[in-house]
Amino acid sequence: MKRFFECTIPTTICNLRCSYCYVIQENRRNNEKADFLYNPKHIGKALSIERLGGISFISMTAPGETLLPKEISEITHEILKQGHFVNITTNGTLSKRFDEILDFDKTHLLRLNFSFSFHYLELLRTNNLSNFFENIKKIKKAGCSFVLQINLCDEYMPYWEEIKQISLQETGALPQVALTRDESFIDSEGKFKILTENIEDYFRVGNEMNSPLFDFTCKNFMVKRKEFCYAGKWSAKLNLGTGEMTACYGNGVCQNIFKDLSKDIQFKAIGNNCRFKYCFNSSHFMSLGVIPELPTPSYGSLRNRKDACWYTKTMENFLSERLCDHNKQYNNREKTKVNLEMKFIKLFYFPKRFISIIIRKLLK
């Protein structure tokens, strides 16, 4: 694994209405349709192994349902044809889209993982529960890997035993548990809180799933990272609609990597300059090793249920790797240089960019 890309599909349309969804919490469910400025073949070429420097892990998600845009099947195919490994986060209900993707060559499907978000009550309300698990079985039979993941929130607690039983029955294991953040609350110090009315019950119930993912995210929630981080060098946040790329969530150099394929991508680490209170997506970035001095479980070990064989051997081997296994680390002098460059960028680039965003919004 040479690099990791957290990719956003720019759509807020979703066929489910989960109360704990961060888009609904922020009142942003405006049914914005995905607009891709570049065609799938162009996106595939922009993410070629030659441009990225090696085989990479490309993870795709959306503020809405990832698989809703009609272009997503072809985009996935083009990225897989480049030789990369791909993850798609989905609510698991769009059978037609799964059928399109499962028509790919078997060798491509071995490098494809689906993260199934288990929105239990919405699946019941929309009569999609059996459809959800049928799609899981379908993709596994075709040779893909998967993870079953549930966002813990208070409304699920009365149904926790039901959720356990159906997960064991349908997938052979308990779901991995994701911590859910309260997007409406930030205290005077800029700190977030977990979305619950009873934190003790929240942790007690979450721990019943024996979920490494839950343990890891709880351990790292609201922990400020001060170590040298290689996000921007080894990993990035990418908008698949526009091609705009940053080191992670707005940190580091901002550039469009789709616009001119003859131009090299600038991979620059953010170093010790993270501006956030904690790593917003530690179970992705940190578990993949963007902070080499920090010992963490691998991305795969946080998600796979080995006894139930959720991952194929191909996927298990790949996601047991860390980015620091295949990338050169900096010496102290190089780290100092990176930190100086990032301070310059923060001082001169971000204010200018912020002003330009405001001007564009006013013009609209």
pLDDT digits (tens, 9 = 90+) for 55-71: 999 999 999 999 999 99
Cα–Cα distance between 97 and 94 in angstroms, integer? 6
Residue 364, pLDDT score = 54
In a domain, 86, yes or no: yes
DSSP structure class, residue 262: T
Q: What is the 3-state secondary structure (H, E, C) of 90-101?
A: ECCCCHHHHHHH
Cα–Cα distance between 207 and 18 in angstroms, integer? 22
Helix, strand, coil tally for the chain in percent (to 5):
35, 15, 50
Residue 34, pLDDT score = 84
In a domain, 140, yes or no: yes
| β-bridge pairing 85-90 and 56-61 | parallel
For residue 360, pLDDT beyond 70: no
Cα–Cα distance between 276 and 292 in angstroms, integer? 19
Phi/psi for 118 (5° steps) reads -90, 85
Question: Which pLDDT band holds residue 192 (cuts at 50, 70, 90)?
Answer: confident
In a domain, 342, yes or no: no
Cα–Cα distance between 25 and 153 in angstroms, integer? 13
Question: Which pLDDT band holds residue 280 (cuts at 50, 70, 90)?
Answer: confident
Residue 361, pLDDT score = 55
Residue 183, pLDDT score = 79
Q: Which residue has the tokens 């930190």?
A: 339
Number of compact structural domains in the chain = 1
Question: Which pLDDT band holds residue 356 (cuts at 50, 70, 90)?
Answer: low
- Quote the pTM value: 0.92
Q: Domain range holding 152?
A: 3-325
Q: Tell me which amino acid residue 29 is.
A: R
The tokens for 255 are 């550039």
The DSSP secondary structure of 101-160, one letter per residue, reads HTTS-HHHHTTEEEEEE--HHHHHHTT-HHHHHHHHHHHHHTT-EEEEEEE--GGGGGGH
Percent of the chain exceeding pLDDT 70 equals 92
**Average pLDDT for 185-201:** 84
pLDDT digits (tens, 9 = 90+) for 215-238: 999 999 999 999 999 999 999 999
Question: Which pLDDT band holds residue 175 (cuts at 50, 70, 90)?
Answer: very high
The CB-side HSE value for 222 (13 A sphere, CA atoms) comes to: 12
**How many beta carbons lie within 10 A of that of residue 335, not counting itself?**
15
Residue 168, pLDDT score = 98
The DSSP secondary structure of 14-50, one letter per residue, reads -S---TT-HHHHTT----PPP--SS-HHHHHHHT-HH
Residue 324, pLDDT score = 93
Phi/psi for 77 (5° steps) reads -60, -45
- Min mean pLDDT across 43-47, 188-192, 308-312 is at 188-192
In a domain, 359, yes or no: no
Residue 363, pLDDT score = 58
In a domain, 45, yes or no: yes
Residue 25, pLDDT score = 74
In a domain, 244, yes or no: yes
- What residues form DSSP beta bridges with 192? 186
Cα–Cα distance between 21 and 34 in angstroms, integer? 19
Helices (H), 184-261: 199-207, 212-220
Looking at residue 264, which CATH number applies to its domain? 3.20.20
In a domain, 355, yes or no: no
